[in-house]
Structure 1
Amino acid sequence: MKDTHQPPLLTALSSASADSPFVRVGDSSLSLDDLRGAAAAVADRIAGARRVAVNANASMETIVAVVGCLTAGVTAVPVPPDSGPAERRHVLSDSGVQLWLGEAPDDVELPVVPIDVSARSSKSYPEPAAESPALIVYTSGTTGAPKGVVLSRSAIAACLDALSEAWEWTAEDTLVHGLPLFHVHGLVLGVLGALRVGSPLTHTVRPKPAAYAEARGSLYFGVPTVWSRVCAEPTAARALGSARLLVSGSAPLPKPVFEKLSGLTGAAPVERYGMSETLITLSTRYDGERRPGWVGTALSTVQTRLCDDRDQPVPHDGESLGQLQVTGPTLFDGYLGLPEKTAESFTEDGWFRTGDIAVADPGGFHRIVGRESVDLIKSGGYRIGAGEVEQALLAHPGVREAAVVGVPDDDLGQRIVAYVVGDSLDGAVVTDFVAGTLSVHKRPREVRVLESLPRNAMGKVQKNLL
């Protein structure tokens, strides 16, 4: 008879009993035994459902709900707590969820299952098939209605195992972060990663510098905004000097922040790259080079390549721009209910088109230039990466934030427009500064000073709003 036993996705939950706190969220904590029992109590109530929505606020209830879904083999659909009624209606309708887990907004018409973190069940559940869907994570919807990204249990496991190898992440670590629990970074890496590796988790509810400093972890996750704020509080930053590893992702880490964080903590941060559709594919390694502005090499289970508009190879010379394409076991199963859109996202030979523009050096080290749709600027016959210009802008001592876009221009095709945040900035001076560090054709033709840049929950600049 064929052995249908599957190795557990959340390995820590199948380990020996442990009474010490394993997961902390703010003032709430649960041991592995408590988490296992609380998740089983949720599984008892939702078993048999196909998909359920989870009110994915930063709480212990969210973690118990998601683990309960994974225990029961029910696909979880994390819903951002700040989503508006129209976005929420789209996600619930598109995903076809049957239940809502956690506190529900007034406009939710589904049956609601409250989450009681003190409830316990001793019932055990068989491990679901590795290829079964674990999560459906919705994209930000910047190019239309949000799309449901279907992530299998095996893809999540492959990603987390490759990251634990690259970062030397073990059960001896204590992971600390305060990231949202409805994205890959905070939920898959920041919660499921801890439960697979077996490292205790402290979620600070919000990623405030003081909370990070007080947590005394060995491994920290953050987005560039978090690390910028940490650097603005040197006492908190220095308290992280005892950590083994600081990881930055979800958006490019500005070189000035990289350098300041390195100086205050005594160690350079690790940067990595990924998408909801691919999970994490590139990262600098714990034992390798950490180069500001670069996101490292492909993880052990992943292959990457750079291609031009005709899917022809682009040289790895550290300069040539190409579309990043990815293949490997961490890829998603497709966009829910959108087979044509899914097919369009892959090349004829099965590589996923990330839509991101990158360069790679001869050693396979990658630098992400930005999104092809908004960050590849074609001006005066040149192909210019917005990210390179943004990094040059951020090197100006008066510029705190920067975003670069290309706007239609009758003469150039597109002209470079820079949006910057800073004090007493003169556009002409800023333009000359960039022209002094990059090729002249990469200088902004306009510089617009703002009080702040529009960002989403993960700190990414929403260039469509610019």
Structure 2
Amino acid sequence: MSSPHPPLFPALAAAPDLPALRFGDRSLTYAELAAAAGSLAKSIGSARRVALWATPTLETAVGVVAALLAGVPVVPLNPKTGERELGHIVTDSAPTVVLAAPGDELPAALGALRRTDITLTGGTDSPAPPHAEPDPQSPALVVYTSGTTGPPKGAVLPRRAIATTLDALEDAWGWTSDDVLVHGLPLFHVHGLILGILGPLRRGGSVRHLGRFSVEGVRHELDHGATMLFGVPTMYHRIAEALPADPALAKALSGARILVSGSAALPVHDHERIAAATGRRVIERYGMTETLMNTSVRADGEPRAGTVGVPLRGVELRLVDEKGAETTDPAEVGEIEVRGPNLFTEYLNRPDATAAAFTADGWFRTGDMAVLDADGYVRIVGRKATDLIKSGGYKIGAGEIENALLEHPGVREAAVTGEPDDDLGERIVAWIVPTDPEQPPTDRELADHVAAQLAPHKRPRTVRHLTELPRNDMGKIMKRSLHA
């Protein structure tokens, strides 16, 4: 019986003998993936929800495809998650099965779940999915967001959000079945798993995962047929640092069709270094666990460092002031709100948090602060909770100060936060990893540098030196840890 809904992965249904996934020296064609995932899907079809031990392996990719074929919501688990947080996720999401690669050692928090090993061979029968394509509104994944206050919340992502986002990126990036994506991102999050694995599979193209990011791995894959690179700012920073001494890397990057950075802002300094060495501009896009992708610089549009481009097809975006009124002044910082089919359905078991996240007319409050250029390009200045500094009557975004600091030759890494100040309300604090720890730039030197680049009221009043900035698995700076 044919399904009234089109499949998430048409190429998988056709099962051609074309490359789909490669991790190191292990690979699967679409036919092999269809057989392996189809066989696993049949064995988990009765599960209410499954957990997935999300290592950067072929098994993880097969596991998530199998769950999607079976119409069973899947909860990706970060193997680095601590025991208490993992226990919360398992209790909250209540999976009945945990999927893992053979030989993976699982922590005690998963001990009560029935384990099913993910194998890379399917049965000899038809690889056709065991069920008709589920309704687009039905849940596909439950992805837990890092809790800034309290334990993480499970964002329920429906199938239509995945299809909508991936098809909007096809439009924005000219993404086709001829594209070969290389990335080295973890597979428990939206960027690495949905964009990096499910994206190529929806297009009928292929993905080569490095297992672990390395500049050498990127160079090799781009030299051998890869057309796209997905990374986070930490990865592009390492690429920018390596370029002066590696002409082969510059040549490989210059041959890529598209370079995409996400999960955090890519400093303008790294944009410019990569563009100068390769002639290619890195494209930035903006998304969240709850919304998948909202905006992107288009492949056929004007590259503009420091922006995340324009709203994707089907996405409505507006900026609102502190009273919730829409602002259209290009100089005015406002909170981004979005609406569209790319959004999550709810926070699992948290109707209170779900209700608080949306306005009465259905806009999702992102908590991200931005300004909107006159032609619709979005410039994010930071998170409402940690990156919007109210100092001396001004609303100041931490991001532009960080970019200015990174242009100083004595600064290797920088983060900016606000601290309470009796006179100013909040004072601007710069956290600096100096290029030369023996001869760091002086506080006055950095303050004058920022004042000259931006404005005097945006200069840091306090400078603190560190050997490194605290970052999470996706390369985002954990600003709350700075003050701790």
Aligned to 1:373: 385
2:319 equivalent to 1:303: no
Aligned to 1:252: 265
2:452 equivalent to 1:444: no
Aligned partner letter, 1:263: A
Aligned to 2:295: 282
Identity %: 50
1:251 counterpart SS class:
coil
Deviation per CA, 1:393-425, whole angstroms, max 9, x where unpaired? 111111111111111112211111110112222
Is 2:296–2:309's contact at 8 Å kept on the other side of the alignment? yes
Aligned partner letter, 1:211: G
2:229 counterpart SS class:
strand
Cα displacement (A) at 1:314: 1.3
Query: 5 Å matches for 1:259-338?
Result: 259-317=272-330, 319-338=331-350
Aligned to 2:23: 25
Cα displacement (A) at 1:113: 0.8
2:386 counterpart SS class:
helix
Distance 1:410 1:432 in 2: 23
State which of 138, 141, 145 in structure 2 corresponds to 1:139: 145
Cα displacement (A) at 1:24: 0.1
Cα displacement (A) at 1:347: 1.0
Aligned partner letter, 1:145: P
Please identify, of 40-49 and 361-370, the stretch whose mean Cα deviation from structure 2 is larger: 40-49
State which of 61, 72, 75 in structure 1 corresponds to 2:73: 75
2:159 equivalent to 1:153: yes
Deviation per CA, 1:192-246, whole angstroms, max 9, x where unpaired? 1111111111111112111011112111100111111112222224322111000
* Structure 1 residues 30 and 387: alpha-carbon distance in aligned structure 2, compared to 1, 3 A threshold: same
Is 2:253–2:280's contact at 8 Å kept on the other side of the alignment? no
Unaligned 5+ runs, structure 2: none
Aligned to 1:182: 188
2:35 equivalent to 1:37: yes
Aligned to 1:122: 126
Aligned to 2:237: 228
Distance 2:20 2:160 in 1: 24
Aligned partner letter, 1:330: N
Aligned partner letter, 1:450: L
Distance 2:410 2:39 in 1: 54
* Structure 1 residues 149 and 104: alpha-carbon distance in aligned structure 2, compared to 1, 3 A threshold: farther
Cα displacement (A) at 1:144: 1.9
Aligned to 2:405: 393
Please identify, of 212-221 and 54-63, the stretch whose mean Cα deviation from structure 2 is larger: 212-221
Aligned to 2:471: 455
Cα displacement (A) at 1:427: 1.9
Cα displacement (A) at 1:123: 4.7
Is 2:164–2:341's contact at 8 Å kept on the other side of the alignment? yes
Distance 1:307 1:106 in 2: 44
Distance 2:277 2:195 in 1: 25
Cα displacement (A) at 1:304: 0.3
Is 1:306–1:324's contact at 8 Å kept on the other side of the alignment? yes
Aligned partner letter, 1:427: D
Is 1:209–1:237's contact at 8 Å kept on the other side of the alignment? no
Is 2:47–2:96's contact at 8 Å kept on the other side of the alignment? yes
Aligned to 1:195: 201
Aligned partner letter, 1:9: L
Cα displacement (A) at 1:3: 8.6
Distance 2:135 2:105 in 1: 30
Unaligned 5+ runs, structure 1: none
CA RMSD of aligned residues (A): 1.4
Is 2:24–2:211's contact at 8 Å kept on the other side of the alignment? yes
Is 1:369–1:387's contact at 8 Å kept on the other side of the alignment? yes
Deviation per CA, 1:103-159, whole angstroms, max 9, x where unpaired? 342312111111111343535222111111000000012222110010000011000
Is 1:231–1:237's contact at 8 Å kept on the other side of the alignment? no
Distance 1:48 1:439 in 2: 61
Cα displacement (A) at 1:26: 1.4
Aligned to 1:343: 355
Is 2:371–2:381's contact at 8 Å kept on the other side of the alignment? yes
Distance 1:242 1:313 in 2: 42
Cα displacement (A) at 1:316: 4.0
2:17 equivalent to 1:8: no
2:59 equivalent to 1:58: no
Aligned partner letter, 1:222: G
2:431 counterpart SS class:
strand
Aligned to 1:88: 86
Distance 2:400 2:253 in 1: 29
Distance 1:404 1:232 in 2: 22
1:295 counterpart SS class:
coil
State which of 389, 404, 408 in structure 1 corresponds to 2:420: 408
Please identify, of 162-171 and 403-412, the stretch whose mean Cα deviation from structure 2 is larger: 403-412
Cα displacement (A) at 1:4: 5.3
Deviation per CA, 1:78-122, whole angstroms, max 9, x where unpaired? 000111111111111111111110034231211111111134353
Distance 1:95 1:227 in 2: 35
Please identify, of 422-431 and 294-303, the stretch whose mean Cα deviation from structure 2 is larger: 422-431
* Structure 1 residues 316 and 28: alpha-carbon distance in aligned structure 2, compared to 1, 3 A threshold: farther
Aligned partner letter, 1:133: P
2:120 counterpart SS class:
coil
Query: 5 Å matches for 1:161-176?
Result: 161-176=167-182
Is 1:316–1:364's contact at 8 Å kept on the other side of the alignment? no
Cα displacement (A) at 1:162: 0.4
Q: TM-score, normalised to structure 2's length? A: 0.94
Q: TM-score, normalised to structure 1's length? A: 0.97
Aligned partner letter, 1:323: E
Distance 1:316 1:57 in 2: 45
1:403 counterpart SS class:
strand
Aligned partner letter, 1:89: G
State which of 100, 108, 112 in structure 1 corresponds to 2:115: 112
Aligned partner letter, 1:105: L
Distance 1:264 1:212 in 2: 16
Is 1:98–1:111's contact at 8 Å kept on the other side of the alignment? yes
